[in-house]
Structure 1
Amino acid sequence: MNSHWLPGNRITLLENGEGYYPRVFEAISQAKEEVLLETFILFDDKVGRQLHRALLSAAANGATVHVLIDGWGSPDLPPSFTQPLLDAGVRLRAFEPVRRLFGARVNLLRRMHHKIVVVDGQHAFVGGINYSIDHIAEFGPQAKQDYAVEVEGPLVGQIQAFCRANVEAPQPSRRAWVQRWRNMRDRAEEEREVEDGAVAAFVTRDNHLHRSDIERHYRAAIRSARHRILIANAYFFPGYRLLRDLRRAARRGVQVDLVMQGQPDMVWVMRATELLYRHLIRAGVRVHQYCERPLHAKVAVIDDRWATVGSSNLDPTSLSLNLEANVIVRDEAFARHLRERIEQLMTSHCKLVERPVPGKLRSAWIGVRSFVVFHALRRFPVWMQRLTAPPPRVVPMGDEPT
C-alpha cells in the first residue's frame, strides 16, 4: 500500500462548505511560499470566485501557486476567470481537457477526482468538497452533505511531496512513480520528530502502482473490526470482496451501519445501490438512507479507532478508474468525533431500510437481476480501461507564466 503511518498530526474535521471554505480560503490567502491545489470541480460561481480572490492574494504575497483542475469536472471556466490568475503568475493546468460530442461531455472515465490543498508545507486539506455553491446550505434542498479534514503535522510533508510530483511529472513513468513514493518516504522520515498527536496516513489510488490501495485499507479495517463499522458513502457499489467482508463482520456480531443516499443528486446511482440492500440486510447489516439532501460524503469510522475522510467513493469509478486521495486516521478522539457527527445525521435525517418480503417468484427475479447488474457494473471499469487506451493528458490553460 502507498502509505506511511506518521504520528504527531493534528487532524480537524470540516463539515460542509460552511466549515471548509472559510478555513481553506484563509489559509490560501495568507500563503507566503507555495499553494498546491487539485480539485475535480471548480465553477465560476460565488464559491469559485472566493477561491479566485484567495489565489490572487497568495500570488500577490509572492507565493508560487499551482492549480490543477479536472477537465471534465470543470469544463466551462471563462477567460474572465482564468486570465487574471494567469496574469498573476498562477500555474493553471487541466487534467484531460473536456471533449464534446454534439455538446455533451464524452470523456467521463479516468478522472482526476482529488480535492487537495497544501499551503506553505504547513497545512493540508483533503476531502470530498469541491469549489461550487452546491456545497453550502444557501443552495437549497440540493446542497450536498460532505466532509474534509485539515491536517497539520508530519503528514503534510507527504501530501506536499505527492502534489509537487504531480506538478513536475503529471504523467510519470513506472520509475517516476517509484521515485515519487521514495521521496514521500524520505520526507516522512525527516518529519518523524513529533510523536504526540494523531497517527495518520495519506493513501491514494491511481492507474499505475496503486490501483487498489484505498480499497485494501478499507478491507483490512473491516476485517479487524470488533464492535462497530460505520460507513457514510455517496456512491456505494463496491466489489464482491468488500461486500463479503461487511457481511462476515455483521455475522460475527459487529454492528455494521451504512449511510447511503436517500435524496440523491443522481437517481440511477441510488437505484443501483438498492440492488445490494437485500443481500446486505440478510446478513445483519443495517442500511440507512439520508433523506435531508444529497449525500456526498466519503467517510468511515471503525471501532472508534480507525477513520477515513477523502474523495473516494466505494463504487467502480472511484475504486477502479479515478485518481483518488484519502486521509486515514488512527486516533480515538477524531474517530469518535466523526462517528458522533454521522450518528447525528442518522438520528435526525435518516430512515432505516427494512428488509423486503417479496413473494417467491419476485424474490427469484430480484436475485437474478441483482446478480446480472452487479457483475456487469463490477466489470465495467475493466472494459472501459481497454476502450480508453490513450493515457490522460495534463495541459496548461492559456499562456502559462515563464
Structure 2
Amino acid sequence: MLQSPSVIAVILLAFHVVGVVAALHAVMTVRTAPGAIAWAGSLLMMPYVTLVPYLIFGRSTFAGYVDARRFNDDRLREIRHGMTPREREARSACVVHEPTQVCMRALPRLTGMPCLANNDVRLLVNGTQTFDAIFAAIGQARQVLIVQFFIVHDDALGRRLQALLCERAQAGVKVYFLFDSIGCHALPRRYVRTLLEAGVDARPFSTHRGFVNRFQLNFRNHRKLVIVDGREAFIGGHNVGVEYLGERPPLAPWRDTHIALRGSAVLDLQMSFAEDWYWAAREVPHLLMPPPEVGGSMTCQVVPTGPADSQETCSLFFVEAIQSARHRLWITSPYFVPDEAVFAVLRLAVLRGVDVRILIPARPDHVVVYAASTIYAYQAVTAGIKLYRYQPGFLHQKVILIDDEAAAVGTANLDNRSFRLNFELMVMTADKGFAADVAAMLEADFANATRIGLDEFLGAPAPLRVAMHVAKLFAPIL
C-alpha cells in the first residue's frame, strides 16, 4: 500500500527532529571532540541511517553502574568493621603511601584503590600452563570461588571448567560464575542450566538493565578473573576455549599471558569483581580477607577500568605508564588503535630516547581492526616507534614492561574499545625480579617477530590503502 506524500514527509520530519535531539545528546555526552562531531554531523544529515547505530554504539558512559560502586563502598566498610584488630593492622601495613616507582604514583587516586605491598606474582605463559594452574587451584577451593570470563565456549576446555565448578559447588563451596552476555552469545543455555542445577550461582553481565541501556551492545565486560578462597587470583588474557590452548587453526599456536597473584592485592581484585557482580545480581558476593601469611615482597597496584569511571581510566593508565619510562618501554597487544593522548606520549617517549617497542599480531582475528592497526602502525613507524609482528600464531597477550622494575599484565588492549568501552582489569607490579622474567619472556617473543617497515603500508595496493583509511574512521568503536 502506497503512503501519501504527507505521511512520508511527517515520517522524515520526525526522523530529523529525533536526529537533532540525539545530536545534542552526542555533543553533551560523547567524551572526545572527534567522536562528538562525527555523531552529531551524521545524526543531523542522515538521521534515518544513523539513529539506530547511535542507540547501539553512541553512549560512552554506562548508566547505573556507579550505583554498584556506591553499594560496594558500603560493603568494603562492613568488611573493615568486621576485621579483627590484627587484620586491620596487617591491611594498613600493606598500603604503600608513596610508591618509589613513577608509574605508580598517580594510580591510587586514579583508581581509588591503594598501592599494596606483600604480594607475590608469577607468570603463566600460554594456555596449558595457565589452565593447569587455574584448574589445580579451583580443585583446592574450600570456601568461596570467583570465576569471571569474557568468553566461555562449550568445548572440551569449557566443559572441564563446568565440571570443576559443579563439583566444588556440590562439595559446599560458594561458587560465583560471571560471564559477559555479548562475549558468550554462542554459549548454549544448557551449559548455564547445568551449573545452576549443581548449585553454582551463574549470572550474565549485560548492559540491558533499565530503559536507558536497552539498546546498548557496545559496553562489554572484558575481564578474566579467578579467585580462590581469597588467597590466590589469576588475571590475564585467556578466555575459556580450546583456541586459547592453541588448538584451533588458523590462529594457532595462540600466544597469551596470565599471572597468578597471592597477597594483599587479592582483596582489591575481589572488590573489582563485587562491583560487576552487584550490577548483574543486585547482591554483594561473599568476600574473604587474604590470609596475612600468604604473600611476598612485591608491590602491586590493581587497576580496574571501565565506561562507568568518572575519568578515562584505561587511557590515562597507559599514558602514565608510557610517560614514566626512562630507557625501555615494551608493549604487547593484539590490537594497535591508540587514541591521540596515548599516541602522543608514545612519540614523546621516542624523542626522550626511550627504546619503544610494540608487538602486534601478523595474523588478523578481526579484519577491520587489523586494517586500522596497519595504518596506525605506519604512522607510528614514521615517528620512530619500533613495531613488530609476531609470526608463529595469533598474539593475544596484554603486557607492558617499563624500564627494569615495573610491569603490567591484564586484559586491556591498546585500543579505544579498551580505553573507553570495555570493563578491563590490569595489575601493575614493581619488582626487579618479576620485571626480569617479563623481559625474558618478551625477548623470546620479539625473537619470533619481524619488524614493520614503511613498505607494509606504502607497498599495499591502492584499494587496500583506501580500505585501511576507511577502517580507521571506525577507530572510536574498534
TM-score where L is the length of structure 1: 0.81
SS at match of 1:328: strand
**How many residues of Structure 1 are paired with residues of Structure 2 in the alignment?**
358
Equivalent of 2:325 in 220, 225, 229 = 225
Match of 1:209 in 2: 309
Change in Cα spacing, 1:45 to 1:241, as seen in structure 2 (3 Å) is same
Are 2:385 and 1:305 aligned? no
1:7 maps onto 2:7 in alignment: no
CA contact (8 A) 1:33 1:120 kept: yes
Distance in structure 2 (CA, Å) of the matches to 1:285 and 1:199:
30
1:237 corresponds to which of 315, 320, 337: 337
AA of the residue aligned to 1:128: G
What is the Cα deviation at residue 167 of structure 1? 2.4
Distance in 1 of aligned mates of 2:117 and 2:318: 20
Structure 2 residue 471 is matched with structure 1 residue 352: no
Distance 1:141 1:341 in 2: 24
Q: Is 1:256–2:360 an aligned residue pair?
A: no
Decide whether the 8 Å contact of 2:262 with 2:294 is kept in 1. Answer: no
Gaps of 5+ in 1: 99-105, 382-402
Contact 2:120/2:295 (CA < 8 Å) preserved in 1? Answer: no
1:54 Cα deviation from its structure 2 partner: 1.3
**1:80-159 counterparts in 2 under 5 A?**
80-96=190-206, 108-143=217-252, 144-159=254-269
Aligned residue runs from structure 1 range 3-402, under 5 A: 3-96=113-206, 108-143=217-252, 144-170=254-280, 196-209=296-309, 211-347=311-447, 349-356=448-455, 374=472, 376-380=473-477
Once the 2 structures are TM-superposed, how far is the Cα of residue 13 of structure 1 from its aligned partner? 0.9
- SS of alignment partner, residue 247 of structure 2: helix
**Counterpart contact for 2:338–2:415, Cα < 8 Å:** yes
SS at 1:164 equivalent: helix
CA contact (8 A) 1:233 1:299 kept: yes
Measured in 1, the distance between the counterparts of 2:243 and 2:406 equals 29
Contact 1:250 1:284 (C-alpha < 8 Å) held by counterparts: yes
| 1:168–1:353 Cα change, 3 Å | closer
Q: C-alpha deviations, 1:111-150, integer Å up to 9, x for none?
A: 1111011110001111110000001133344132111111
Q: Which has the larger radius of gyration?
A: 2
Evaluate the alpha carbon distance shift between residue 76 and residue 196 of structure 1 in structure 2; reply closer, same or farther with a 3 A threshold.
closer
CA-to-aligned-CA distance 1:40-61 (integer Å, 9 cap, x gap): 1011101101101111121122
Displacement of 1:210 after TM fit? 5.1
Q: Work out the CA distance in 2 between the residues paired with 1:89 and 1:125.
A: 23
User: Does the CA-based 8 Å contact 1:262-1:270 persist in structure 2?
Assistant: no
- Contact map agreement 2:301 2:429 (CA 8 A) in 1: yes
Shift of 1:373: 6.0
CA distance in 1, matches of 2:310, 2:405: 25
Give the aligned residue type for 1:109.
N
Which residue type is aligned with residue 55 of structure 1? Answer: L
Looking at structure 1, the residues matched to 413 and 470 of structure 2 have their Cα atoms a distance apart, in angstroms, of 22
**Cα distance in structure 1, aligned partners of 2:198 and 2:470:** 53
Q: Is the 8 A contact 2:257 2:397 kept in 1?
A: yes
Q: Which has the higher contact order (CA 8 A, sep 6+)?
A: 1
For residues 278 and 302 of structure 1, the distance between their equivalents in structure 2, rounded to whole angstroms, comes to 23
What is aligned with 2:27?
A: none
Q: CA deviation at 1:371?
A: 7.8
Task: Tell me if the contact between 1:316 and 1:377 (Cα under 8 Å) persists in the aligned partners.
Answer: no
Report % sequence identity: 30
Is the 1:68–1:94 Cα contact (8 Å) retained in structure 2?
yes
- Give yes or no for contact 1:214–1:326 (8 Å, CA) kept in 2: no
Change (3 A) 1:268 1:371: closer
Q: Distance in 2 between matches of 1:210 and 1:201?
A: 19
CA distance in 1, matches of 2:151, 2:385: 33
Instruction: State the shift of 1:68 in Å.
Output: 0.7
Instruction: Please tell me whether the aligned partners of residues 211 and 320 of structure 1 are also in contact (alpha carbons under 8 angstroms).
Output: no
TM-aligned CA distance change 1:75 to 1:117, over 3 Å? same
Distance in 2 between the 1:97 and 1:369 partners? Answer: 32
- Write out per-residue CA displacement over residues 212-263 of structure 1, whole angstroms, 9 at most, x where no aligned residue: 2232222112112111110000011111111111111111211111101111
The DSSP-based 3-state class of the residue aligned with 2:204 is strand
CA contact (8 A) 2:336 2:376 kept: no
- Which structure carries more strand by proportion? 1
Q: Is the 8 A contact 1:39 1:70 kept in 2?
A: yes
For residues 303-334 of structure 1, what are the alpha-carbon distances to aligned partners after superposition, in whole Å with 9 as ceiling and x for unaligned?
A: 02221111111112111111111111111111
CA distance in 2, matches of 1:239, 1:325: 19
1:356-375 CA distances to partner (integer Å, 9 max, x unpaired)?
A: 4999xx99x97x9988865x
Deviations 1:44-85 (A, max 9, x none): 101101101111121122110111111111123334422221
CA RMSD of aligned residues (A): 3.2
More helix, by proportion: 2
1:30/1:57 contact within 8 Å kept: no
Deviation readout 1:242-289 (Å, 9 max, x if unpaired): 111111111121111110111122232221111122321222211101
Letter in 1 for 2:272: F
Q: Which amino acid aligns with 2:306?
A: D
Q: Secondary structure at the match of 2:450?
A: strand
Q: Which whole-Å CA distance do the structure 2 matches of 1:130 and 1:298 have between them?
A: 13
